[in-house]
Amino acid sequence: DTAVSQTPKYLVTQMGNDKSIKCEQNLGHDTMYWYKQDSKKFLKIMFSYNNKELIINETVPNRFSPKSPDKAHLNLHINSLELGDSAVYFCASSQDLVEGTQYFGPGTRLLVL
């Protein structure tokens, strides 16, 4: 069974559209994250949620809105997509906020045309 899963795996869309990426973890973890990996492969945290509460919001444009319906899910909605949003988006989870290994999903490759 996949520990952290993301859908879709690939997303190609036009500028100005709104899209969502879904993430689910079956590890029973309390904390989930969204990361962005840019074209230079640099990985940077965007958001973290602990028990459905927002903990970190790293100066991400408010066009990006995470939503956590329950502890096992953290979805990312993006409004008015821009060319610069093209990247790979990774979801991850960890047992809690303080310590512990982070487990990553396979990534969603977003291309904005």
Binding residues for another protein, rule: CB under 8 A, are 33, 40-45, 48, 50, 55-56, 58, 90, 92, 97-107
Q: What's the N-to-C CA distance of the chain in angstroms?
A: 34
Tokens 């100005």 belong to residue: 16
Q: Which is nearer to another protein, 55 or 111 (CB)?
A: 55
Closest distance of CB 55 from another protein, Å: 6
Closest distance of CB 98 from another protein, Å: 6
Closest distance of CB 52 from another protein, Å: 15
Please give the Cα distance from 5 to 73 (Å, whole number).
10
3-state secondary structure of 63: coil
